[in-house]
A and B are shown apart, each in its own frame.
Chain A
Amino acid sequence: MTSSEALSPINAGQGPRPSLSDPSPATSAPILEASSLVAGWKHGKTETRLLQDVNLTLPSGRFVALVGPNGAGKSTLLRTLVGMQASLAGTVKLRGAPVSSLSVEDRARMAACVFTDRFDSGFFTVFDIVSFGRYPYTDARNRLTERDREIVGDAIRETGLAGFESRRFAELSDGEKQKALTARAVAQDAPLLVLDEPTAFLDAPARIEVFHLASRLARSRDKAVIVSTHDVDLALRHADELWVLDRGHAFASGAPESMALSGALGRAFDGPVVRFDPATGAFRAPGEPAPFAVGISGEDPVALGWTFRLAERLGCVIEPEDGRYDAVIRVIGAGIERAWELERAGRVTRIATIEELSEGLGRLVAVARERSEPS
């Protein structure tokens, strides 16, 4: 395949891509392919091989999240995949064309990136920033055509920033900035979209919005989307696929659920204190369990769930297999009528709020811990 064939469908603009209605040979190739890839740096004659033997394939319409602890090589992998850093061995192909054979301009039409780099946006408006995405297509004087303006407008609407066009970029919130930068990448109209830690500076709802947007762009625009992130729980919930790098720089990929079940996430993140809990898909610092076992029962699943979380937070052993409980907690009623019963040594105490339960149970656990400690 020649690179011109590979590039042909790029100017198709938004809407369903030709690959959906008319699968030509050029578009049936995966957007991104890496085989036996070795990534790292070269300083003079010394090579630092950070990632070895990475094999991956990314078709269009798929949203993958790249996770791994700091220093595992996420950024290095991303830079190498989009051709901004030369690979030490192996190949990376964008739509079937080796990335090393593509010019900077060709690469810009193949892969659009959002970095964490901060910059002084001066007087640039949201529209100005998003139109930076049209650079690979504009003439030497960088004039936007009507078509360019349409594409920029579409990208702004797609990312939920309609009405923000003439606002100064510098005046946006961090979440809005992230959307505008994503819109810029969308306006670049490349089949591959790479977002490097887009959730880094955002509050919780804005983080979820980023994942939601990434997943929507993969579907509505049939893009291949890579998001590197530290928000493993969000990645597990939203991504179609997970790429996991561990501290030893080993690469694993698969469905998010499979990465949790197979222990790949645990291998990547588990440390002496914090562990990945495959049951809940979250990170936990379990600590030493207290010598205090509780049984928990009740009807209302939500209240039951939070009562479990409470006991867990206090360090209780929950529902031990031998069935010997130091206390039993029952959730009774629902809504305004909801209450808790704490049964200990045959005595039942009725407790009205979960705060009081937290205090009471906390005291019991503390006493148990003190008693068990060798004095």
Chain B
Amino acid sequence: MSDSPVPISGFRAETLRRRAGFILLGVAGALLLGADLALGSVRIPFSEAGKALFGAASDSAWNDIVRIFRLPKSLTAASAGASLALAGLILQTIFRNPLAGPDSLGIGAGASVGVGVVVLLAGGSSGAALLSGLGLAGWAGLAAAAALGSFAVLLLILAAARRVENGVTLLIVGLLVGYLAGALVSLMVWFGSPQKTQVFLGWTYGSFSGVTLERLPVLLGALGLGAALTGRSAKPLDALLLGERYAESVGIRVKPARARVLVAASILAGTVTAFCGPIAFLGIAAPQAARRIFRSSAHRVLMPASALIGAVFALAADVVAQTPGGGSVLPVNPILALIGAPIVLSVFLRGARGKDPA
């Protein structure tokens, strides 16, 4: 780092780094999106996949495959990745814990309870019809139930966070809340009908392909709402990094600001969980990667960076999921764990040694 008394050069280097980072991530995202559209049980050439988006591919079947099946899946993956990353960023800031995330704090488990209540307990119709036959209003209801479940868990964790100072203790609390939610889900599965249970268990594997073109607006609408709420909170979130007292002393109304971003995180994580199942690691790893790549702690940088990285991770996982070819597709969660677990582990080890800001 230069020791020049005027930090202008430092600012310039930082701006350059940021621009380069966003451009590279954008290019990576676009390439992965292309690959995601081209790969699958039917291989479509890269150039044709692009044309197919506008209905101009040389084979009309390719048009349908790309537009009806693959585009919704790719958009779902990208937006789910971005949303989980934003939710993770919020949770890491609010709980001042680099290892906080939708899954590590048991928020995904809370969403599962919400989904479980809707799928397993509600309604008299058969389980098979439930998820696939759910109308748009039904999906919105499912998303709302998942968001509510997430928010309930968040409130629990927040209450616990007031009593425990230690970050690792908080994660243990998250783990226990996750077990608690898991137990509720298990009980519901036990009492649910076999068909319903099968549908529910399929959901728990995590997948980006369950969202059809018609349901996509519901997903994107909910995520857009969550992202908008988050985007407006960059300033208070920065202040909250210094702790609640400093935030209040610079004029932030801490309670409403915190409530707003936690509602946003619940909507983001809950909706993604409702539509795609519990997706692991993305929420913790993406904000961490954003901090490393952009060497920044400012939310106006970290928010777009985390969202972009989350989208890239999710698209990459979805591309890797297609690699076996021949109609077989890998589940997304193990692939994400393969990317995410090393990142989280390195954060944990660095934190343990007290080196490098996380």
List residues of chain A with CB under 8 Å of any chain B CB.
82, 84, 104-105, 107-109, 111-113, 115, 117, 119-125, 127-128, 132-133, 135-136, 138, 140-142, 162-163, 165-168, 170, 188
CB <8 Å contact, B251 and A109: yes
CB <8 Å contact, A136 and B251: yes
In the complex, which residues of chain A have a beta carbon less than 8 angstroms from the beta carbon of B234?
A: 141-142
CB <8 Å contact, A123 and B296: yes
CB <8 Å contact, A140 and B235: yes
* B179 close to A (CB within 8 Å): no
Question: In whole Å, how far is A184's beta carbon from the nearest beta carbon of chain B?
Answer: 9
Given contacts A115-B246, A120-B98, A120-B241, 6 further A-B contacts (CB under 8 A): A108-B250, A115-B249, A117-B242, A120-B358, A121-B297, A163-B5
Chain B: number of interface residues, binned into ranges: 20 to 34
* B298 close to A (CB within 8 Å): yes
CB <8 Å contact, B239 and A132: yes
Main secondary structure on chain A at its contact with chain B? loop
A109 to B250, CA, bound (A): 8
A82-B249, A107-B251, A115-B245 given; A135·B239 CB < 8 A:
yes
In the complex, which residues of chain A have a beta carbon less than 8 angstroms from the beta carbon of B242?
A: 117, 119, 132
* B124 close to A (CB within 8 Å): no
In the complex, which residues of chain B have a beta carbon less than 8 angstroms from the beta carbon of A113?
A: 245-246, 249
* 9 A-B pairs with the lowest CB-CB distances in the bound complex, closest first: A108-B251, A122-B297, A166-B10, A135-B250, A165-B7, A166-B7, A105-B251, A122-B357, A136-B251
A141 to B250, CA, bound (A): 15
Q: Which of B3, B235, B295 contacts A163 (CB 8 A)?
A: B3
CB <8 Å contact, A167 and B1: yes
Interface residues of B in 5-24 (CB under 8 A from A): 5-7, 10
Query: Nearest residue in A to B96 (C-beta to C-beta)?
Result: A120
A115-B246, A128-B298 given; A122·B358 CB < 8 A:
yes
Query: Nearest residue in B to A185 (C-beta to C-beta)?
Result: B249
A169 to B275, CA, bound (A): 42
CB <8 Å contact, A108 and B297: no
* B51 close to A (CB within 8 Å): no
Provide 21 A-B residue pairs closer than 8 Å at the C-beta atoms, listed in order of the A residue.
Answer: A107-B251, A108-B249, A111-B249, A119-B96, A119-B246, A120-B98, A122-B241, A125-B7, A125-B10, A128-B298, A132-B246, A133-B250, A135-B251, A140-B235, A141-B300, A142-B238, A142-B300, A163-B5, A166-B4, A168-B1, A170-B357
A142 to B233, CA, bound (A): 10
In the complex, which residues of chain A have a beta carbon less than 8 angstroms from the beta carbon of B357?
A: 120-123, 168, 170
